[in-house]
Amino acid sequence: MVIPSAVLVQTVGAPLSAMAALAAAPVTVVPESTQQAVGYPSLFLLVLIGALVPVVPTGALVSSAAVVAVHRAAPFSLALVFVTASLAAFLGDLALY
Protein backbone atom coordinates (compact mmCIF):
# COMPACT_ATOMS: atom_id res chain seq x y z
CA MET A 1 0.00 0.00 0.00
CA VAL A 2 1.42 3.35 -1.05
CA ILE A 3 0.68 6.33 1.18
CA PRO A 4 0.56 9.75 -0.54
CA SER A 5 3.22 12.15 0.70
CA ALA A 6 0.63 14.79 1.71
CA VAL A 7 -1.08 12.31 4.03
CA LEU A 8 2.28 11.18 5.40
CA VAL A 9 3.38 14.75 6.19
CA GLN A 10 0.06 15.55 7.79
CA THR A 11 0.07 12.36 9.89
CA VAL A 12 3.71 12.57 10.93
CA GLY A 13 3.73 16.33 11.55
CA ALA A 14 0.64 16.51 13.76
CA PRO A 15 1.59 14.24 16.66
CA LEU A 16 4.92 15.95 17.35
CA SER A 17 3.40 18.22 19.98
CA ALA A 18 1.65 15.25 21.57
CA MET A 19 4.90 13.28 21.54
CA ALA A 20 6.71 16.21 23.18
CA ALA A 21 4.02 16.35 25.87
CA LEU A 22 4.39 12.61 26.49
CA ALA A 23 8.16 12.93 26.70
CA ALA A 24 7.83 15.70 29.30
CA ALA A 25 5.29 13.77 31.39
CA PRO A 26 6.64 11.98 34.45
CA VAL A 27 6.90 8.21 34.08
CA THR A 28 5.80 6.02 36.95
CA VAL A 29 7.27 2.55 37.13
CA VAL A 30 5.56 -0.10 39.19
CA PRO A 31 7.95 -1.36 41.90
CA GLU A 32 9.23 -4.90 41.65
CA SER A 33 7.64 -5.87 44.96
CA THR A 34 4.20 -4.98 43.56
CA GLN A 35 4.88 -6.99 40.43
CA GLN A 36 5.86 -9.97 42.56
CA ALA A 37 2.81 -9.57 44.79
CA VAL A 38 0.58 -9.83 41.73
CA GLY A 39 2.67 -12.14 39.54
CA TYR A 40 3.36 -15.13 41.74
CA PRO A 41 -0.21 -15.57 43.08
CA SER A 42 -1.63 -15.20 39.57
CA LEU A 43 0.89 -17.75 38.27
CA PHE A 44 -0.14 -20.10 41.08
CA LEU A 45 -3.85 -19.72 40.37
CA LEU A 46 -3.50 -20.10 36.61
CA VAL A 47 -1.36 -23.24 36.88
CA LEU A 48 -3.76 -24.65 39.48
CA ILE A 49 -6.69 -24.01 37.13
CA GLY A 50 -4.64 -25.48 34.29
CA ALA A 51 -4.15 -28.68 36.27
CA LEU A 52 -7.89 -28.96 36.80
CA VAL A 53 -8.94 -27.88 33.28
CA PRO A 54 -6.52 -29.28 30.71
CA VAL A 55 -7.41 -26.67 28.08
CA VAL A 56 -5.36 -23.92 29.80
CA PRO A 57 -1.82 -23.82 28.31
CA THR A 58 0.22 -23.96 31.50
CA GLY A 59 3.46 -24.81 29.71
CA ALA A 60 3.45 -21.53 27.85
CA LEU A 61 2.46 -19.72 31.03
CA VAL A 62 5.35 -21.14 33.05
CA SER A 63 7.78 -20.59 30.17
CA SER A 64 6.84 -16.92 29.86
CA ALA A 65 7.03 -16.45 33.64
CA ALA A 66 10.50 -18.03 33.58
CA VAL A 67 11.64 -15.65 30.84
CA VAL A 68 10.45 -12.69 32.89
CA ALA A 69 12.16 -14.08 35.99
CA VAL A 70 15.49 -14.48 34.20
CA HIS A 71 15.53 -10.76 33.42
CA ARG A 72 14.89 -9.74 37.04
CA ALA A 73 17.56 -8.52 39.41
CA ALA A 74 16.44 -10.86 42.20
CA PRO A 75 18.73 -13.91 42.41
CA PHE A 76 16.11 -16.55 43.24
CA SER A 77 13.20 -15.37 41.09
CA LEU A 78 13.59 -18.20 38.56
CA ALA A 79 13.63 -20.81 41.32
CA LEU A 80 10.58 -19.16 42.89
CA VAL A 81 8.73 -19.41 39.57
CA PHE A 82 9.47 -23.13 39.33
CA VAL A 83 8.56 -23.79 42.97
CA THR A 84 5.30 -21.85 42.60
CA ALA A 85 4.34 -23.62 39.37
CA SER A 86 5.31 -27.05 40.72
CA LEU A 87 3.35 -26.58 43.92
CA ALA A 88 0.30 -25.37 42.00
CA ALA A 89 0.47 -28.29 39.57
CA PHE A 90 0.88 -30.75 42.44
CA LEU A 91 -2.08 -29.32 44.36
CA GLY A 92 -4.20 -29.26 41.18
CA ASP A 93 -3.38 -32.89 40.47
CA LEU A 94 -4.06 -33.79 44.08
CA ALA A 95 -7.45 -32.07 43.95
CA LEU A 96 -8.26 -33.86 40.72
CA TYR A 97 -7.28 -37.21 42.21
Q: Tens digit of pLDDT for each residue in 16-71?
A: 566 666 667 676 766 666 666 778 888 999 999 998 888 888 889 999 999 988 88
Residue 7: predicted pLDDT: 47
- Asked if pLDDT for residue 10 goes beyond 90, the answer is no
Output 73-76 pairs: Cβ under 8 A, ≥24 positions apart.
73/32, 74/32
Query: What predicted TM-score, i.e. pTM, was given to this entire model?
Result: 0.63
- Asked if pLDDT for residue 92 goes beyond 90, the answer is yes
Q: For residues 36 and 20, give the distance between their C-alpha atoms in angstroms, rounded to a whole number.
A: 33
- Asked if pLDDT for residue 88 goes beyond 90, the answer is yes
> Could you tell me the CA-to-CA distances from 3 to 16, 73, 92 in Å, in that order?
19, 44, 54
